[in-house]
Amino acid sequence: MTARRIGILGGTFDPIHCGHIDAARAAEEALGLTRLFLITSNVPPHRAAPVASSYHRFAMVALAVSNRPTWFASDIELRSAAPSYTSTTLQRFHGEGYAPAELFFLIGADAFAEIETWRDYPQILDLAQFAVVSRPGLPVAELRHRLPSLADRIISIDAPTADVSATDVRQRIAAGESIAGLVPPAVRQHIERHGLYTTMSGRLHGED
Q: Are strands 154-157 and 71-74 parallel, antiparallel or unpaired?
A: unpaired
Q: Is residue 75 part of a domain?
A: yes
Q: Is residue 147 part of a domain?
A: yes
Q: Is residue 53 part of a domain?
A: yes
pLDDT-based confidence at residue 19 (cuts at 50, 70, 90): very high
pLDDT at 202: 40
Q: Is residue 205 part of a domain?
A: no
Q: Is residue 107 part of a domain?
A: yes
- Which of 44-58, 164-178, 184-198 is predicted least confidently? 44-58
5-9-13 Cα angle (round to 5): 155
Q: How many CB atoms lie within 10 A of CB 21?
A: 21
Distance CA 175, CA 8 (A): 33
Q: Does the pLDDT value for residue 22 go beyond 50?
A: yes
Each residue's pLDDT tens digit, 88-135: 999 999 999 999 999 999 999 999 999 999 999 999 999 999 999 999
Sheet holding 6-11, edge to edge: 71-74, 35-40, 6-11, 103-108, 129-133, 154-157
Each residue's pLDDT tens digit, 60-93: 999 999 999 999 999 999 998 888 899 999 999 9
Total domains present in the chain: 1
Distance CA 43, CA 54 (A): 10
Q: The dihedral of CA 92, 67, 50, 118: what is its sign? A: positive
Nearest to 182 by CA among 14, 11, 13, 18: 18
Which DSSP string corresponds to 136-154? TTB-HHHHHHHSGGGGGGE
Q: Is residue 1 part of a domain?
A: no
Q: Is residue 207 part of a domain?
A: no
The residue range of the domain holding 157 is 6-198
Percent of the chain with pLDDT over 70: 94
**Average pLDDT score over residue span 136-164:** 92
**What average pLDDT does the structure give for the chain?**
93
pLDDT-based confidence at residue 1 (cuts at 50, 70, 90): low
Q: Is residue 78 part of a domain?
A: yes
pTM: 0.93
Q: How many CB atoms lie within 10 A of CB 172?
A: 15
pLDDT at 208: 60
CATH number for position 108: 3.40.50.620
Distance CA 13, CA 134 (A): 18
Q: Are strands 103-108 and 6-11 parallel, antiparallel or unpaired?
A: parallel
